[in-house]
Each structure stands twice: as C-alpha cells, then as structure tokens.
Chains A and B, each alone.
Chain A
C-alpha cells in the first residue's frame, strides 16, 4: 500500500511543478550570488593544510601572527610599489585579505596571498597544531552563504511542499469521490498510517532533492568540499547551532532531513484529523489549508525575528522554544537567552504529544466516520 500511496502523490502535476520551480530558483540564487569564490577556495586550502575542517574556527593567535607576518613580508617583497613604507604589518595583511578592497585590487591581493601560501604550508609543519584556527571574514560569509542562501530556503521550501503534499495525502479520496469505494475495502480504513509514511517519505525526498541540487550547483561553482564537514556556526562568536554540541554542515543537513519528516508527519495528521473531524465541504478544506499556510508564514516570520541561535528546522521546536526563551530567560546560560538543551527536549515532547493526540483522534475518527 505504501508504494501505491507514494505513487498516488507523485501523479500530482502541481507538486512536481512547484518542486522544479524550487530547484530552479535555488540554482539561480546560488549562481547569481557573489561568494568571493577565490577567497573561499583559499580558506579551504588553508584548512586542508592545517588538517582541520573548521574553516571558521576559534582563535589560534600563533598561526595568525605567523601568517600575518609572512603575508606582510611577501607583499613588501613582491609588490613594493603598492605598499607604503609606513604601513604596519598587521594592517597590511588585513588589507590584503579583503577588508579594504579599494586599497588594492582583489586579484593583486590574492596573488600576494598565493605567494605567501607555500611559505605558510612549510611553516605549518613546524607549528604545534592545536586544531583551532581563525579566519577573518571569509568564514562568516561562507556560513552565511551556506545557511541563508542554501539550507534555509531548502528547509522552507520543503515545509511548503509538505503543506502541499499532506492535505492531498489526507483528502485525496474526498476530492476524487472515492471514499465509498476505498472505505468499504479491507484496508481502506487503515490507510491513515500508510498515508503518514508516504507523506514523510515524499517530504524527505523533496528535501534531499532540493538541498542536493542547491549544494551541487554551489560546489560546481565553488569546489570547496572541506566546508561540508566544517562546523555549522551561527555568528561571529563561533557559537554552534546546537548549544551543547558541534554539528557539521552535513550533520545539519541530516538533522533537517530527520525533522523534515517529522514536520510532514505533523502536517499530514493535522490534515487527516481535519478531514476526519471537520471537513464537510470544500470551503472547510480551503479554510484549513489557508490556516496551515498562515501558520507556516507566521512561524517563518517568528523564526526570522529570533536570535540566530535557533537554526534547527524550526517547526518542531521553534515556537515553544521562543516562548520558553522569552518567559524563561532567567534560565539562560548566556546573556543572549539561549535556552538550555532540555527546553528543546520539552518542546519536542510537547509537539510529539500533540502529534500523538492528533494521530489517535484522526485514526479513531476515520475508523468510525460515516461516509
């Protein structure tokens, strides 16, 4: 039955159109943005030299000083015509690394960078690598690109696809007029769980397709595979997305993958409960769909306005976390009011309980509904 329910949804042209549109929009978004790719590639090279995936890591003053010194020396030796004598070494390096491009063309700066790199590569072998390294602005920019331009839109698009898939999953029989035929069969009244799994699988497939295509376009343009294993940070303070543990970009994608399925499950059961309990007409159906859409928009808007710490696929934990953050800020571990991990667990448990209740209500109603 699962195969049939999945195929039933895949026969919906509108879902395909929307998915293809999302892929195209993501691809165009990736292609059209200015990532300062050469800078990013240099940073990836440095990370590879250091043997670390943390391309936006914490402090490593010794390496920074070394690199700054080497860079300044290279600049003075190779391009003395551009370098006023009175420029301090640190400032010079800062300028070279793109902080003030008006002072030097990017190509020149990066050429100097290339000159310094071999020396740096040799030097690293002599340095006791503590595993931490600090870049300048590039790391933030890269994570901003990854998160804001790629993974976040993919997550939101998946949420919208879940909204498209779930009601159709729940109400397909109603719209097609097949309720009498379906519900008089042996397994007809037990379709709820099958539909739920079908909707989850379809949502996971959608998220995978959207994220993989967007990442693929990005990596074609900027082949820096190191970033996939780098930690998923949220701001220049180097705070990790999940407060109590680090998570890589790939790990973050995996977390979204799992929670996307859970989100779709919730939407599907809300839709199924709605059909089982309330829908008596198309007007009610559209009202429910509009309500779900407004809910999602408000959710995203509230997410957009939150501190950037709350970057987990938002639907599961965000609303409750927001509330707990605001109300329970005296439990915060920092001035920003970051919720303690167990608040997230409570939030997930609360949503899980709501989901379970909806499931039970919907399944009971479907079992006993008169057609």
Chain B
C-alpha cells in the first residue's frame, strides 16, 4: 500500500499541497482537479521528484525517501511533458531507459520490443524521435513508464495528443494492467477515467476533497441534475438562474443540462463530468475540462 500521511508540499513559500492524506491500493485511481490544484505536484511527490516539507509518503510502511532506489525500482512515471533526446530512435531511447531502470540487457531487448508492439510502434522503432508526432511521442512515454513492469504506475495527462482510437486503446491497456498494481492517472479528460477508474480522487483548495468510488462521487449530485428544453433565445436568461453544466442546440431549440432543485426540467443521472463542473464551478479552469 502506498500511503500519503499529512503531507505538505511547498514551492518556496507557496503551499502546493496542504496536509493531505490518502492511501492507494491496487486499482486505478483517477486524479481529477482543475489546473493548479496540485495533481502534478502529488504525482511528482509520489515519483520522488519532489520532497515533502511535512509528512511522509510510505510504501508498505517504509518511507519512500529512505527506500530510495528500491522504491524507484517499482514505479513507472509518465510526466506531463515527456522529454526525449532528439537524436535517439525510439528503440535506442527505450534501451537507455531500460539501463537506467536496472533491467539486465538480456531481458531488455525483449521487453522493449514487447512494449513497442503494445503501443503500436514496432514499424517506426528505428526512426529518430525528432520525426515522431506528438501522439507517437506520448506512446513512447507510455512504453517507457511500463519498462520495469512497475507496481505503481503514475501517468500525468497520458492521453494528451492521442486520437480517439488511441485513447480507447490506451484505456483498455490501463484496464488490463490494473489488477495487480496501483495506477494513478491524472487527467482533465473525464471520459478517460469514467470507464476504468476504481476510485476517483478529487483535489480542491490544495487538499484531498474526496477519494471514493465513481458511484459514490456521482451520488453527490443524485437528484440534482436535470435537463430543460427551451427556445434558444431564452438560454442566456436561464443560465443566469441556474448552474448550467452543458448546452446542446437542435435547430432553434436549446437543451440545457443543469443543477437544480427539481422544480423544472427532466431528471438525469449525474455523471462524473457533472460533478467536476459543479464542484469546481468557482474555478475558471473547470470550464475547460
């Protein structure tokens, strides 16, 4: 079990995470929050790229700072900006990372080739990375994170740059991996985790707002989500009276999905996106989710 205990992370005098505590067990954890809420900070903390000002992070009861290489041996990390050496090919870069992860060379080649197959890059493995598209680079990053078959896999915005087909492929890959490891997935794309996450972690005001199952998270808005139909020109007025989650137009008719008290509209089941938009309605970036 990976335990975060009363951790505070600071950048200089600025608090990025304030006294957070959370436990991670095997399964997929979707980390959702607007920009600047601390998602990347939390993931970097768990990847030993940042150190806590207060509190500890423990793996099976031992501090990850004390474990040092032993802990990093079992983690895989895909950063938000996956850096690479432009003169390297995909194969040579993964072989370099394999050496950094301490995997013997005999196993390394097979592992690299297997992962390149899984991310659908076997035909371009000897092509220089500077010629790769953004989506291809991202797939190399996913393969890199998986090289050492990690027990803890941390992915920061992993589907950025991937087309819908690749995103579905990625979701299936993560779902297949989650049975015997911890997967922490930070993303703005709610649909990426709706179908695969076992737990959702919501960060707000630099704290963990809630860590619960998808059903329980969505239950926060049970009975409060409705859809109303109206002429298009009435939508602005309607938006001022209610918190509108999304809008849809069919000809001159507007359909507004909103949070209400039940006095109007057709009741709808709350989705994770509804919860995200409603919870972070005071934050400007919530609209970009």
Contacts and interface: CB of A to CB of B under 8 A. Distances in A.
Contact of B100 (A1, A172, A180, A368): A1
Interface residues of A, number: 25
B87 A180 contact: no
Contacts of B86: 176
B157 to A, nearest CB: 13
Q: How many residues of B sit at the interface, in one of the four size bands?
A: 20 to 34
Contacts of B132: none
A172 B141 CA distance: 18
B148 interface: yes
A178 interface: yes
Contacts, number: 75
Nearest to B51: A370
Interface string B74-87: 01010101111111
A177 B101 contact: no
B44 A181 contact: no
Contacts of A186: 69, 72-73, 100-102, 148
A371 B85 contact: no
B97 A181 contact: yes
Interface string A1-37: 1001000100100000000000000000000000000
B49 A183 contact: yes
Contacts of A1: 99-100
B82 A184 contact: no
Contact of A371 (B49, B88, B97, B102): B49
Contacts of A177: 81, 83-84
Contacts of A370: 49-51
B63 interface: no
A77 to B, nearest CB: 71
Contact of A8 (B75, B85, B141): B85
Interface of B: 44, 47-51, 69, 72-73, 75, 77, 79, 81-88, 96-97, 99-102, 141, 144, 148
Given A4-B96, A178-B83, 20 more contacts: A8-B96, A11-B85, A180-B47, A181-B77, A181-B79, A181-B82, A181-B144, A182-B100, A184-B75, A184-B77, A185-B100, A185-B101, A186-B69, A186-B72, A186-B101, A186-B148, A187-B69, A187-B100, A187-B102, A188-B100
24 contacts: A1-B99, A1-B100, A176-B85, A176-B86, A177-B81, A178-B83, A180-B83, A181-B77, A181-B79, A181-B97, A183-B49, A184-B47, A184-B49, A184-B79, A185-B101, A186-B69, A186-B72, A187-B69, A187-B102, A188-B72, A189-B72, A190-B69, A191-B100, A368-B51
